[in-house]
Every structure is written in structure tokens, then in C-alpha cells.
């Protein structure tokens, strides 16, 4: 059985991919930060243990737990765990920005490096990083998340070059809008870390809060939003293809902005991205 370690399996992409891969016959180790989510995953038949990307001890404990159940082998790693921190760049404190990077970059980097040592010893492996369309382009009031995903892509591209000549591949998946609890978790981070009642962006923040606080049922359906199965399709190719791609674009907006970024001058792309962001917050 091919073994795979997945982070961020409580909901959304990680949850769907963990169950789908298990049904395909993979030996899936589905991790989540909170114990109640781990208990739920175990009750559903998955092998699950806590893994908090902000905590080095938690990463080590989870990795040791996995190795004890996989005969010391990890064939694949899917780095999916992440969250979004909304807020204008000038309103991001140093601690808020650090927390975003601890989860979305530093913890992911630490886990990747530790798994890489195992993959080098066994002589093979697949690493898949779940990035975002916001690792290609930026949008207003998403500066912390933009920066973390741009940094993840930079490290991943460098690592791909450094792994040249080995039997270890690394790929990026870059989804646009996907059905998940991402907005709900982003709203909690916004409430926790951003003072929306003062500063230059108060009026916009009222719109941001209104948008993020909408339930899935009350939110207008975006025709470009896809289910997590779209990411799973890319993940499966990255895991099983003899020649996995360096990048997988998922959803029409990702394809569109990847093309526009190459074709348009900066001022024109900025105009489009600002209009998209403003329309979204109306």
C-alpha cells in the first residue's frame, strides 16, 4: 500500500482527499490540529493523529506516530494545512503576520524537511504542496495569505531544482475558489487579529465582515467555485503520474490569472484585481 501523510484534514480539501485516497487503497494518515476532529476522522475509519503546524513537538509526535504504523516509510506527503488572515497590510501586526507564516510556511517547511530525510533514505517519494491562485497573483486585504503562499511557492520551486536527479518529486497545486470552511476560519482570524473599528479601512472592513460571516447557504453561488474533488483530481495525478507536473492549476480563475499575469502590464492587472476585490466586497 502507498502511504501518504496529509495535513489539515478536518474539513474541505484535506477531508475529501483523505477519504477518497483511502477508498483507492492508499494507506492514509489524516492529521488535524484539534483532537475533536481527530476523533471524528478515526470514527470514520481513517488513521488520524493530532498535528499542529505551529508546534515543533506536535510535528515530531505525529511523524513518529505515522512511522510506527507504516514500517518507517512515507511514500507521499500532501501539505494541505493552512488558513487565511484577512486585513489590510498596514493593519497586520508583526505577531499576526508571524502566526500566518508559522502555519502556512514555517510548519509546512519543517514537516517537509523531516519527511524528505525519510524519502532520501528509502530512495523515493512524492511531495505535493497545496498553494493557491493567491500564490500567483495578489488581491487586496489578503496580504498575509498572499505573502505566505508566494513564499511557499518560492521554497517549493527551489526545492524542485535541488531534488533534480533524485527519485523524489515535488508539485504545487494552485486552486482558486473551492467549497470549504476557509471563509469561516478566515472570519475568526479577522475578528481575533484585526481592529476593524479604527484606521483608514473601516468602511471596507464592514463589507469584509459581511461577506465572511455569510453561511454557505446564504452565500450567492459562485459559478467558478468547484468542489474539493477538483483538487483531488490534481492530487491523484501528482501522486501517480510517471511525470508529475510542477504546477496544477485548479478552477478557471487560476488559469485565467496565470495567463493575464504573463500578458498584461502591471497597471492593467492591478486594475482588474482591484475591481474583482471591490466587487466581491460590495
Which helix (H) or strand (E) is 198 found in, with range?
A: none
Nearest of 75, 69, 25 to residue 47 by alpha carbon: 69
CA 175 to chain centre: 9
11 phi and psi, to 5 degrees? Answer: -150, 180
Nearest of 261, 274, 282 to residue 140 by alpha carbon: 274
3-class state of residue 201 by DSSP: coil
Burial of 237: CB neighbours in 10 Å, binned 0-12, 13-18, 19+: middle
Q: What angle do CA 97, 144, 255 make, to 5 degrees?
A: 155
Q: Are 38 and 50 in contact (CB under 8 A)?
A: yes
Beginning with the edge strand found earlier in the chain, give each strand of the sheet holding 3-6 in spatial order: 47-50, 27-32, 3-6, 76-79, 125-130, 168-175, 247-250
Given the residues 15, 141, 145, 187, the one annotated as active site: 145
Which helix (H) or strand (E) is 31 found in, with range?
A: strand 27-32
DSSP string, 121-170: HHT-EEEEEE--GGGTS--TTBHHHHHHHHHHHHHHHHHHHHTTTSSEEE
Q: Is residue 145 flagged as an active site residue?
A: yes
Residue with cell 482558486: 176
Catalytic residue numbers?
145
Amino acid at each position: 500500500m502507498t502511504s501518504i501523510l496529509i495535513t489539515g484534514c478536518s474539513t474541505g480539501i484535506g477531508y475529501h482527499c483523505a477519504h477518497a485516497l483511502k477508498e483507492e487503497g492508499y494507506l492514509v494518515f489524516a492529521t488535524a490540529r484539534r483532537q475533536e476532529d481527530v476523533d471524528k476522522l478515526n470514527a470514520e475509519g481513517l488513521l488520524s493523529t493530532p498535528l499542529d503546524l505551529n508546534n515543533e513537538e506536535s510535528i515530531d509526535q505525529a511523524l513518529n506516530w505515522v512511522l510506527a504504523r507504516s514500517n518507517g516509510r512515507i511514500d507521499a506527503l500532501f501539505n494541505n494545512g493552512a488558513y487565511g488572515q484577512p486585513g489590510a497590510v498596514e493593519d497586520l501586526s508583526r505577531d499576526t503576520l508571524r502566526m500566518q507564516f508559522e502555519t502556512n510556511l514555517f510548519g509546512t517547511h519543517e514537516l517537509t524537511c523531516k519527511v524528505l530525510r525519510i524519502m532520501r533514505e528509502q530512495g523515493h517519494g512524492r511531495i505535493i504542496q497545496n498553494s493557491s491562485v493567491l500564490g500567483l497573483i495578489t488581491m487586496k486585504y489578503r496580504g498575509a495569505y498572499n505573502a505566505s503562499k508566494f513564499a511557499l511557492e518560492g521554497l517549493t520551486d527551489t526545492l524542485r531544482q535541488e531534488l533534480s536527479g533524485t527519485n523524489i518529486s515535488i508539485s504545487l497545486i494552485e486552486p482558486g475558489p473551492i467549497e470549504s470552511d476557509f471563509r469561516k476560519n478566515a472570519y475568526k482570524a479577522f475578528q481575533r487579529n484585526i481592529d476593524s473599528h479604527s484606521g483608514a479601512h473601516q468602511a471596507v472592513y464592514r463589507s469584509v465582515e459581511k461577506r465572511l460571516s455569510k453561511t454557505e447557504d446564504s452565500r450567492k453561488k459562485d459559478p467558478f467555485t468547484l468542489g474539493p474533488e477538483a483538487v483531488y483530481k490534481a492530487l491523484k495525478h501528482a501522486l501517480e503520474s510517471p511525470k508529475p507536473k510542477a504546477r496544477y492549476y485548479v478552477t478557471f480563475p487560476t488559469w485565467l490569472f496565470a495567463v493575464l499575469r504573463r500578458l498584461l502590464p502591471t497597471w492593467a492587472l492591478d486594475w482588474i484585481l482591484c475591481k474583482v476585490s471591490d466587487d466581491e466586497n460590495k
